[in-house]
């Protein structure tokens, strides 16, 4: 049987970007990508679909189209890891052998953890931008609602794109505001967490929008049940009490957990996500095993922007591992969350490990702590082509990997 130089589990944002980056660096590598899906999604676009800005079609491509030409696509799901014998088992029981493994199957949206939610999604005014097929329904509900109550929910961390639950809310509110309907619509934001956003520098700008739109922000309020037919949502409060809120529209974001086959494997840590060194993204036990994207047990913001920076780091370190050398590149925890506070303006959160601000632009050009038109332009016009033609093709002009021991400006420390 073939032993691939590199096997990659998952052909999403992280897996494809890493494969492209590896092949850019070493064209003759044998790479297999294990990926069961026929479609690859640009999920960051779903916020824009939910607001009626993007056509859903621009957020999807066939998997065949994004697979690097030189990679071998195994069209199945991985189901188990045998890191001691350097192999991955597929759904049909086949074992695939590797010299180095990259784990990137994303996370699991746990819709079923909220009783009643899955049954009513797409009906009874219940929607979520976290699914391709439902994001257009968000826009439909916003267009149709003239008065009543709209609830937006956020589950406990970690979730992918921590800002996305409120992005949907701000864009909906802005739509109602422009059509002079907002006064008749009671908007509530129920978040399981204590603060509007995990990095304090961005909270003042967001708070200003909470006030402008008259949103009732309920921290420590966790969605625990939905009765779609009765249009009632249940929230557990900090003190354990459960309250009921009737709604006309509910934008729900599901709890997010590690995929089952990862959680039950030896490569997961206690959280269920893949254990990695936060800088090198290498597993602490198996030196030829790496992971990136939403599946890693690191404290960075789970975003495609993070995967964009992680992909070349993993590529460099995988090649070092294949050559019997120590990891040579480090990830600083960069993640980015463009908070769409109104149609036309964005608060561009960019930060690394420990909440350290890591802006891509000088403050005089773009201050991410304030809503700017330039950041909207980036999200609306620049980021989709950067994703499809830059990140997924291994073109790294915006995200070259940083060698270990180097400061971000490339100077030795």
What is the binding site for ligand FAD (CB under 6 A)? 9-15, 34-37, 43-44, 46-47, 77-78, 104-106, 129-130, 160-161, 164, 259, 261, 293-295, 302-305, 307, 336, 338
Instruction: Give the β-pairing of 108-109 and 242-246.
Output: unpaired
Select which of 161, 215, 226, 315 is catalytic. Answer: 161
Q: How near is the Cβ of 219 to ligand FAD at its closest, in Å?
A: 21
Comparing CB distances to ligand FAD, the nearer of 162 and 279 is 162
Comparing CB distances to ligand FAD, the nearer of 231 and 265 is 265
18 catalytic per annotation: no
Q: How near is the Cβ of 194 to ligand FAD at its closest, in Å?
A: 22
DSSP-derived secondary structure letter, 184 = G
Distance (Å, whole) CA 370 – CA 345: 9
173 catalytic per annotation: no
Select which of 169, 337, 378, 391 is catalytic. Answer: 337
Distance (Å, whole) CA 400 – CA 200: 28
Bridge-partner residues for 351, per DSSP? Answer: 335, 357
* Helix, strand or coil, per DSSP, at residue 8: strand
Comparing CB distances to ligand FAD, the nearer of 83 and 231 is 83
Distance (Å, whole) CA 365 – CA 204: 20
Distance (Å, whole) CA 129 – CA 56: 11
Comparing CB distances to ligand FAD, the nearer of 148 and 278 is 278
Q: How near is the Cβ of 388 to ligand FAD at its closest, in Å?
A: 13
As a residue count, the chain comes to 413
Q: How near is the Cβ of 46 to ligand FAD at its closest, in Å?
A: 4
Burial classification of residue 62, based on how many CB atoms lie within 10 Å of its CB (0-12 exposed, 13-18 middle, 19 or more buried): exposed
Could you tell me if 207 and 221 are in contact, meaning their C-beta atoms sit under 8 angstroms apart?
Answer: no
Distance (Å, whole) CA 290 – CA 393: 20
Instruction: Give the β-pairing of 345-351 and 108-109.
Output: unpaired
Comparing CB distances to ligand FAD, the nearer of 231 and 366 is 366
Tokens 């997010």 -> residue: 256
Q: How near is the Cβ of 239 to ligand FAD at its closest, in Å?
A: 31
Catalytic residues, which ones?
A: 161, 337
């Amino acid at each position: 049987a073939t032993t691939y130089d590199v096997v990659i589990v998952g052909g999403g944002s992280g897996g494809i970007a890493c494969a492209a980056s590896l092949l850019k660096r070493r064209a003759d590598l044998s790479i297999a990508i294990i990926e069961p899906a026929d479609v690859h999604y640009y999920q960051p676009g779903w916020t824009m679909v939910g607001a009626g800005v993007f056509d859903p079609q621009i957020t999807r491509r066939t998997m065949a189209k994004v697979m690097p030409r030189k990679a071998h696509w195994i069209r199945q799901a991985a189901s188990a890891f045998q890191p001691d014998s350097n192999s991955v088992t597929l759904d049909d029981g086949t074992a695939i052998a590797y010299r180095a493994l990259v784990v990137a199957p994303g996370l699991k949206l746990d819709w079923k953890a909220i009783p009643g939610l899955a049954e009513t999604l797409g009906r009874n005014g219940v929607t979520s931008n976290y699914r391709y097929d439902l994001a257009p329904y968000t826009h439909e509900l916003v267009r149709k609602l003239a008065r009543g109550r709209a609830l937006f929910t956020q589950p406990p961390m970690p979730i992918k794109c921590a800002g996305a639950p409120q992005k949907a809310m701000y864009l909906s509110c802005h739509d109602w505001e422009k059509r002079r309907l907002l006064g008749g619509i009671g908007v509530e934001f129920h978040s399981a967490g204590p603060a509007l956003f995990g990095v304090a520098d961005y909270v003042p700008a967001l708070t200003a929008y909470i006030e402008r739109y008259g949103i009732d922000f309920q921290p420590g309020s966790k969605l625990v049940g939905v009765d779609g037919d009765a249009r009632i949502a249940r929230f557990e409060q900090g003190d354990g009490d459960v309250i009921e809120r009737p709604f006309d529209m509910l934008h729900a974001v599901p709890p997010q957990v590690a995929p089952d086959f990862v959680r039950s494997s030896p490569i997961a840590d206690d959280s269920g996500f893949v254990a990695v060194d936060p800088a090198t993204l290498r597993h602490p036990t198996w030196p030829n095993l790496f992971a990136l994207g939403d599946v890693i047990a690191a404290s960075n913001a789970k975003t495609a922007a993070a995967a964009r920076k992680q992909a070349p780091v993993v590529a460099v370190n995988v090649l070092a591992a294949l050559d019997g050398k120590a990891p040579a590149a480090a990830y600083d925890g960069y993640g980015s969350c463009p908070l769409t506070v109104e149609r036309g303006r964005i608060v561009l959160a960019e930060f690394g490990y420990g909440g350290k601000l890591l802006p891509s632009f000088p403050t005089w050009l773009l201050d991410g702590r304030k809503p700017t038109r330039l950041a909207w332009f980036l999200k609306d016009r620049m980021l989709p082509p950067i994703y499809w033609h830059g990140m997924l093709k291994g073109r790294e002009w915006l995200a070259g990997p940083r060698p270990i021991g180097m400061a971000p400006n490339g100077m030795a420390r």
